[in-house]
Amino acid sequence: MLLMAAGWLLWRRRRGAAACHLIYAVSMMMLATACCCAFTLSAWSRWGWMSGLSGRYFSGRMVGSSLLELAFPVFLLAWFTRPKIRGQVRSWSRPGRRMELPWPNR
């Protein structure tokens, strides 16, 4: 839901879009890291230290999927913390204010 709201705000060019995306990115990074650690610990306690080829394959697959889950949040953090993008987001309107057009209304 947070990513949908962030996308809507980004589409409407609202300042809160960057904050929502950053909150989503940080929370997903923490969740992916916690899931990877929890799975590794539970597999370690269940099967020893991933003995056998199937255990290593399974743990490698879990770590690989966690790294893929981190790709989009890392991109969001890198994108929205760039100085050029931060300046552009600051120029966007706030929800309660109306934008003034550079030409007169006809």
Q: Map out the domains of the chain as residue ranges.
A: 23-90
**What does DSSP assign to residue 81?**
T
DSSP three-state, residue 77: helix
Distances (CA, A) of 99 to 29, 94, 96: 35, 9, 10
Cα separation of 86 and 75, whole Å? 15
**Between these two residues, 101 and 66, which has the higher pLDDT value?**
66
What sections of 48-81 are H helices per DSSP?
Answer: 52-80
- What is the value of pTM for the model shown? 0.68
Residue with tokens 């799975």: 39
Q: Are 93 and 13 in contact (CB under 8 A)?
A: yes
Q: Are 62 and 39 in contact (CB under 8 A)?
A: yes
Q: How confident is the model at residue 65 (pLDDT cuts 50, 70, 90)?
A: confident
Q: Is residue 47's pLDDT more than 70?
A: no
Q: Are 63 and 35 in contact (CB under 8 A)?
A: no
**Between these two residues, 44 and 71, which has the higher pLDDT value?**
71
Cα separation of 97 and 24, whole Å? 26
